[in-house]
Amino acid sequence: MARYLVTGGAGFIGSHLCESFLSQGHEVLCMDNYSTGAQENIAPFLKNPRFRFIDHNVSRYIELQEPLDFILHFASPASPVDYLELPIPTLKVGALGTHNTLGLAKAKDAVFLLASTSEVYGDPLVRPQSEDYWGNVNPIGPRGVYDEAKRYAEAMTMAYHRYHGLKTRIVRIFNTYGPRMRLRDGRVVPNFIMQALKGEPLTVYGEGQQTRSFQYVDDLVAGLNKLLHADYHLPVNIGNPNEMTVLEFAKKIIEITGSKSTIIYKPLPEDDPQVRQPDISRAKAILDWEPKVNLAVGLKKTIEYFRSKLTE
């Protein structure tokens, strides 16, 4: 039995990680302040004696008495809706939160995993994006608060690895979807599903020719479990390389939901990435990982979750 600390553990991905570690028989400390997470995501775990919730903002000093084997730093607003409303907390959790969790990992001699993002590539000029690509980011644009927070967090994680010899892992997560996403998350998957289920027009920005690649949350969790136990400290892309345009994706959501929704077009937001496709060669070679869940299968599970929430 190992003991895991998951910051942002009441969030979409964080709660799935907590569930995965509990199912393996481990102890889990879940740290969150519910800025974007939700108590309902972890409600099923609260009666488990191997689970403990800690209400704390990781941008403040963290003090824990018990030993820790693994620390996964997932605390951060991740949707443009959130980080545009919370720009300074987003920067703080990337800087101060990462510093505090790295310091805790050093004190506990724990393996540290940083949840980074495909957003470190900005609006990329290469396709697909490999981990060796340095990115094309506007540091002073509205999205810069998230992009640069994650880039700084990566730099600090590497500094702790090089200077202190800390066992670190960095995952660059590409678009992930699944149950427990917030209904009004603001990202393309929940937006389209909610609009389709309500029979509202699906909102496509620009001409909808910008591309995205979508991975189901179970595939991400499987990749993260492998990365935690791999002796590899450089960034690793975890995502689905099957790329499609946003317009194609909108039509697929309408098809799967059986909605009569139409599609409307609005101006493209500033610095919206035009392409997003992971090169997962490194994950294949080092982790023996690649996504397995078919898009239609994952979307049907996600749509059923959203449908159940709408009828509550």
**74 lies in which domain range?**
3-180+214-241+277-292
Residue 101 lies in a domain: yes
Residue 100 lies in a domain: yes
Number of domains in the chain: 1
Residue 18 lies in a domain: yes
Check which CATH number belongs to the domain holding 288 and give it.
3.40.50.720
Residue 207 lies in a domain: no
Residue 259 lies in a domain: no
**Whole-prediction pTM value?**
0.95
Print the SS3 string covering the chain. CCEEEEECCCCHHHHHHHHHHHHCCCEEEEEECCCCCCHHHHHHHCCCCCEEEEECCCCCCCCCCCCCCEEEECCCCCCHHHHHHCHHHHHHHHHHHHHHHHHHHHHHCCEEEEEEEHHHHECCCCCCECCCCCCECCCCCCCHHHHHHHHHHHHHHHHHHHHHCCCEEEEEECCEECCCCCCCCCCHHHHHHHHHHCCCCEEEECCCCCEEECEEHHHHHHHHHHHHCCCCCCEEEECCCCEEEHHHHHHHHHHHHCCCCCEEEECCCCCCCCCCCECCHHHHHHHCCCCCCCHHHHHHHHHHHHHHHHCC
Predicted pLDDT at 184: 81
Res. 303: pLDDT tops 90: yes
Res. 271: pLDDT tops 70: no
Residue 113 lies in a domain: yes
Residue 82 lies in a domain: yes
Rounded mean pLDDT, 105-125: 96
What pLDDT digit, counting tens, does each position of 18-47 carry?
999 999 999 999 999 999 999 999 999 999
Task: Please report which confidence band the pLDDT of residue 268 belongs to, taking 50, 70 and 90 as the band edges.
Answer: confident
Res. 254: pLDDT tops 80: yes
Predicted pLDDT at 125: 92
Residue 255 lies in a domain: no
Predicted pLDDT at 307: 93
Rounded mean pLDDT, 162-189: 93
Give the catalytic positions in this structure.
Answer: 146
